[in-house]
Chain A
Amino acid sequence: MSVILDVQALDVRIPLAQGMLHPVRDVSFAVERGETLCIVGESGCGKSLTSLALMDLLPRRAERRAARLIFAGEDLTRASEARMTDLRGNKMAMIFQEPMTSLNPSYSIGNQLEEALLRHRRIGRREATDRAIYLLEKVGITAAASRLTQYPHQLSGGLRQRVMIAMALMCGPDLIIADEPTTALDVTIQAQILHLLAQLQREFKMGLILITHDLGIVARVATRVAVMYAGQIVETGTVAELFARPLHPYTQGLLRCIPVPGRTKRGTHLGSIPGIVPNLIGDLVGCSFHNRCEHAYESCAATDVSQREIAPGRAYRCLLTAEQCAANAAKAAA
Chain B
Amino acid sequence: MTAPVLETRDVSCTFQIGAGLFKAKRPLHAVNGVSLKLMKGDVLGLVGESGCGKSTLAKMLLGLQAPTGGDIRFDGAPIMGLDRRAIARRVQPIFQDPYSSLNPRKTVGSIISLPLRVHRVGEPDEWRDRVEAMMDLVGLARRFTDSYPNQLSGGQRQRVAIARALIMKPDVVICDEPTSALDVSVQSQILNLLQDLRQELGLTYLLISHNLAVVEHMATRVAVMYLGRIVEENDTDSLFQTPRHPYTQALLASVLTPEPGLGVPDAQLGIAFPNPIDPPAGCTFHPRCAQALAQCSRVAPMPIADGNGFTECHLYNPAKDVAA
Contact = CB atoms under 8 A, between A and B. Distances in A.
B258 A215 contact: yes
A192 B185 contact: no
Contacts of A215: 184, 258
A215 B259 CA distance: 9
A214 B257 contact: no
Contacts of B240: 261
A310 B63 CA distance: 59
B65 interface: no
A256 B217 CA distance: 13
A198 B266 CA distance: 12
B103 interface: no
A195 B269 CA distance: 13
A258 B188 contact: yes
Interface stretch (B13-21, B119-127, B206-214, B297-305): B206-214
A276 interface: yes
Q: How big is the B interface, by class?
A: 35 or more
A158 B273 contact: yes
Q: How big is the A interface, by class?
A: 35 or more
A264 interface: yes
A105 interface: no
B151 interface: no
A261 B255 contact: yes
Interface string A151-163: 0000011110010
A243 B271 contact: no
B256 A191 contact: yes
A138 B90 CA distance: 53
A214 B271 contact: no
A137 to B, nearest CB: 12
Contact of A187 (B212, B261, B271): B212
B147 to A, nearest CB: 14
B191 to A, nearest CB: 6
Given A240-B260, A240-B261, A261-B240, A186 B210 contact: yes
B258 A261 contact: no
Contacts of A257: 184-185, 187-188
A221 B260 CA distance: 8
Interface string A54-68: 000000000000000
A216 B257 contact: yes
Contact of A266 (B183, B217, B266, B271): B217
A217 interface: yes
Contacts of A272: 185, 188-189, 192
A27 B191 CA distance: 33
A140 B271 contact: yes
A276 B189 CA distance: 12
Interface of B: 49-50, 153-154, 183-185, 187-189, 191-192, 195, 210-214, 216-218, 236, 240, 250-251, 253-267, 269, 271, 273
